[in-house]
Chains A and B, each alone.
Chain A
Amino acid sequence: MRVPLSWLREYVDLPAGETGRDIQAKLIRAGLEVEGVEALGADLKGPLVVGQVLAIEELTEFKKPIRYCQVDVGDANGTGEPQNIVCGARNFAVGDKVVVVLPGAVLPGPFPIAARQTYGKTSEGMICSARELGMGDDHDGIIVLPPEYEPGTDAIELLELVDEVLDIAVTADRGYCLSLRGVARETAIAYGLPLRDPALIDVPPANSYGPAVKVEDQAGCDRFVARSVVGVDPAAKSPIWMQRRIQKAGMRPISLAVDITNYVMLEMGQPLHAYDRHRIDGAITVRRAAQGEKLRTLDGVERTLDAEDLLICDDSGPIGIAGVMGGAGTEIADAVVDPETGEVTGTTEIVIEAAHFAPVSIARTARRHKLPSEAAKRFERGVDPEAAKAAAQRAVDLLVLVAGGTAEAGVTDIVAPHPVHAISIAADLPDRVAGQEYGRETVVRRLQEVGCTVVGTDVLVVTPPTWRPDLTDPNDLCEEVIRLEGYENLPSTLPNVPAGRGLTEAQRLRRRIGIALASAGHVEVQNYPFIGEAVLDALGIEAGDPRRDTVKIANPISHEEPSLRTTLLPGLLGALHRNVGRGMMDVALFELGRVFRVDGTAETLYHAPRLPVDRRPTEDEIAQLDAALPRQPYRVGAVFAGNREPQGWWGKPQAWTWADAVEAARTVADAARVSLTVRQDQHTPWHPGRCAALYVGEQLVGHAGELHPRAVKALNLPERTCAMELDLDLLTAGGAVRAEAPKISTFPVATQDVALVVDDAVKAADVEAALRAGAGPLLESLRLFDVYRGESIGAGRKSLAYALRFRAADRTLTADEASAARESAVAEAATRVGATLRG
């Protein structure tokens, strides 16, 4: 809502020196979101005057037609001689009154004006358009003024070019502030000044001879006021003051009848509609639409109506969507001038509608038809139903005053009875909500200021004013008191929070994982969870794979990516690709986040019950809510490309490999204090020969390794890109593991190396397991330090060299004891995997 200060001052006698900024600060404190103050004409400087065009010389030798004009500006130029002005606009004729800016003036911009050579002439100033004067966006031509102003009259004052405008973002609960009346009320309260309420005007009582109206749906329309004015001069134009106020409030002046309805709406917050009476067929009827019924609205669009839409109809059918937009058929006719006689024809009899419609109905209709009109915006947020009569009267008065019409005596006012809604609150409730003592007297006074009727002592019975439909609950009233007493005056205290237990194990684990992976050289990313079929295709994930069973969004940002991720890899690989594309060739990224998995086809999935809100849902209902949701496990993923170690003075580069991917998984497992078992696997999108399946016990928890070259190519990734992904929920399914302190033996270590030759197909993990099993409890640690393939051991075989460390808890081991343990280890390896000692 844009509120010109000059207009606001009509209702509140603000101190003369009070600036827009001052008022802004006061209103912000009272809870109006005043986003800014626009200073109109701040850099404007005259002379800017009314001129009369005396002569026009058409210059035709240029690309576009140009006019060289002589304009009478009275004495404004100091000489009284006509001013010579070059003008590119063509919407004026000799004799017209225009707005002339003279050399020495400054137009908004700032844009200094001087006499200058143009189109072969000297232009001593400019004839102005509305846009050049900062009045609006209208640049269709120059302003042609009504004929009654004398040449030389100051146009800055005439056009009210200097003003300040408050720009207020009105929250959903404060519909009344979508009017000068409402903002003036808040301003008056903020300054402790009286309000001149524009709705307090004399209105004749309803009678039976007003325009015929039938309200068939009183739930949708609980008030309908109709008035009529005859003898309207179709040639009458909106006066400048009205046009200017409408412009400053952010709307466009259109025609007299429309301008008057908009003006009254801005003033009182009551949307009005003006009909050409000759175009209404029979009684005005308010009813719901028939499904599929059609109406061409004022914007020229033919709309198919829904059975929920509330309509204004006549005997011919719909003539408007109630409270949203009028129909094209009953629009006030544009004035038409007969070129022969100069006679103006158009609408001469006008019916004014001032109605009140159910907010929810209007909101739904406006949303359904994507018609967020000024009227709908107000009805949705709540309009004062008691203002309808005054608003209609105001419109009638303006039609009489400005358009020479005559008000008809008939007053139609259909009112559906609605109960008075009183709220009982303890007089000290605002104190208890705020944590500050206001006292009953202050509470009562503040509630009365906003327009409430208050009775009672300890318990107050409060009846909110008709323009405050948002005040329904005790806490709403508390807010009124507290905001007017000033949120800024609230004390600052701390509650006694019961002792807490800090983060949960799962929360701490995610931190440890993040720190561990980052310490290992990985960079964390947070990717969008949106994916599409294309990336699953590129990864080679086949139909039937559970990762294809995605949760789909009805209104995705991009139709290329309408699903939620079932794996972290697409996002990670996208981020990897982006980094490589930007020249970071050596990248290791990780992400911790949820994936969305659809398991099975439970009927409950995606179908959450609509539960009431006046009670706690039952445990069963809560379970139904959860059953509607897909599984959303936490995962950790990592991707790698390029070098782990760059080439440097220390030596050759070391690439990130499949082993680093597995290592990253181990880093995560270590952080979770679980031990990971690695098994060879084949799993899309990994390289079939370089894919590790990761287990905790017998539970598969993820995969790691090098990606399939086909996926790498399809996603345009660097060769040998590697990846890892683990399900954290599965990883920690065994619960928190407490580290067990080892017994530290201080007896000497006995080291024994052993090289075992095995078949190439034998897995290192199996050899190690055999050695561990065979070596027995004296084995402290075991480490593979070399893998060798060569002629000396034969084709298809490999030699694995291990360093074994033996130690006893209670004594120094003898050489024989250590050797015996080693031999036992080798024997077990021979039995299990056919290992032979390398000779």
Chain B
Amino acid sequence: MSAPNKSYDPVEVEALKPEEIERLRDEALAAFAAATDLDALHEAKVAHMGDRSPLALANREIGALPPAAKAEAGKRVGAARGAVNKAFAARKVELEAERDARVLVEEAVDVTLPYDRAPRGGRHPLTTFAERLMDVFTAMGYSVAEGPEVEAEWLNFDALNMGPDHPARSTQDTFFLKDADSVVLRTHTSGVQIRSLLAASEPPVYVICPGRVFRSDELDATHTPVFNQVELLAVDEGLTMADLKGTLDHMVESLFGEGISTRLRPNYFPFTEPSAEMDMVCFVCRGESVGNPDRPCRTCSSEGWIELGGCGMVNPRVLVACGIDPNKYSGFAFGFGIERMLMFRHNVEDMRDIVEGDVRFTLPFGMEI
């Protein structure tokens, strides 16, 4: 580097001549424009912007100029270097974009390749449907009660006003245990209701009892000896049949949609009095298939109604057997089979599909129903 020289004339320094600076700048700009990839651009950068590049060298010469000349020379070199830096950055962006475009195209894959690497699982619709029902009732304030599947006859029959001669207590309907007295596979979850009443020191009792039950039927397209039931029991002061009806209406609306209601028809069950059979408006045709052969409904067989199960006001005799004063308290109850409801809600055509555990049946139901 030259030493500062007060008599130094910048015009006399070759490298700092204005035309020379312009030339260096233009050379750099041309080199960047000529670079066709990032490697070439890098080489051009070293050549034209590096420490040994002519503009860098020219910049150093400025220090040797007399103070009066420094400002002008510095301004000239600075402007040239600024233009070079800017051109480099612009070209770099261009070339990077080109490279990215090329490389990402090269990296492309067929995203339609099938990927069944992780196994799919699923929960049984009987489980998830029962859960759905429980959610409806727990949201209303009910508890979910459970009990044993092998049950004492007193809890399964006697306490429910099904005396020793009730026809349901025959081997036609009930599985009895060998060498046992008064112990059966429960034929309904009503025993759990009795247990709930016995466990409560005093009503109110509001419980829903889901669970497996057993009847000695052979398995066929519409029957299974092992099936799932949901039963409800409410015992409180002043409960009425209107409350039963309202609760049923709420349930079917929750499960089948706005505007679906129930209908009660008189029936007979020993554990309820008055008793009723409950139907719901067909959620598929909403009754429009009735008497309308052009629009048949296979869900309700064009009846407009779907049979759900039995219900009624808890027979006061049941309350007495549980030590509850029937003059103070009343209650309502209902029960139905989950399989049946699953069948009509999801068009299951054969009961065997529900019980056989074929994964093709269960998978489409996923995690919730």
Contacts and interface: CB of A to CB of B under 8 A. Distances in A.
Contact of A504 (B144, B165, B218): B144
B358 interface: yes
Contacts of B249: 492
Contacts of B5: none
Interface stretch (A391-399, A429-437, A714-722, A824-832): A429-437
Interface string B164-207: 01010011000111111111010000000000001000001010
Q: Looking at chain A, what size class is its interface with the partner chain? A: 35 or more
A608 B204 CA distance: 28
A182 to B, nearest CB: 14
Given A495-B236, A613-B159, A588 B121 contact: yes
B254 interface: no
Contacts of B367: 515, 518-519
Nearest to B175: A553
Most buried by B among A33, A433, A556, A574: A433
B363 interface: yes
B285 interface: no
Interface in B36-88: none
Interface residues of B, number: 102
A526 B355 contact: yes
Contacts of B362: 523-525
Interface string B249-277: 11000000000010111111000011111
B320 A555 contact: no
Majority-rule SS of B interface residues: mixed
B313 A475 contact: yes
B364 to A, nearest CB: 11
A363 interface: yes
A473 interface: yes
Nearest to A173: B268
**Which DSSP category, helix, strand, loop or mixed, fits chain A's interface?**
loop
Interface stretch (A82-90, A234-242, A400-408, A627-635): A627-635
Nearest to A621: B154
Interface string A437-459: 00000000000000000000000
A479 interface: yes
B360 A584 contact: yes
Interface stretch (B21-29, B100-108, B238-246, B343-351): B238-246
Interface in A564-586: 564, 574-575, 578-579, 582, 584, 586
Contacts of A629: 148, 150-152, 183
Given A488-B263, A625-B154, A650-B117, A527 B357 contact: yes
Given A519-B367, A613-B158, A483 B149 contact: no
Contacts of A648: 114-117
B16 interface: no
B31 interface: no
A615 B247 contact: no
Contacts of A811: none
B197 to A, nearest CB: 9
B225 interface: yes
A302 interface: no
A677 B247 CA distance: 47
A713 B211 CA distance: 35
A501 B206 CA distance: 12
B124 A525 contact: yes
Interface of A: 28-31, 33, 171-174, 360, 363-364, 367, 432-436, 473-476, 478-479, 482-483, 487-488, 490-495, 497-504, 507, 511, 514-515, 517-529, 551-557, 562, 564, 574-575, 578-579, 582, 584, 586-589, 592-594, 596, 606-611, 613-617, 622, 625-626, 628-630, 632, 644-646, 648-650
3 cross-chain pairs, A with B, having the tightest CB-CB distances, nearest first:
A616-B323, A31-B266, A435-B240
17 contacts: A31-B266, A171-B268, A432-B240, A434-B240, A435-B243, A475-B313, A479-B274, A487-B266, A493-B242, A494-B140, A507-B144, A521-B119, A524-B122, A554-B178, A574-B357, A616-B321, A649-B113
Interface of B: 113-124, 126-127, 131, 134, 138, 140-144, 146, 148-155, 158-159, 161, 165, 167, 170-171, 175-183, 185, 198, 204, 206, 212, 216, 218-219, 225-226, 228, 234, 236, 238-243, 245-247, 249-250, 261, 263-268, 273-277, 313, 315-317, 320-324, 330, 355-360, 362-363, 367
Given A522-B119, A525-B357, 18 more contacts: A432-B240, A434-B241, A475-B315, A492-B261, A495-B246, A497-B142, A498-B141, A498-B206, A500-B206, A523-B363, A529-B149, A562-B178, A628-B152, A629-B150, A646-B117, A648-B114, A648-B115, A648-B116
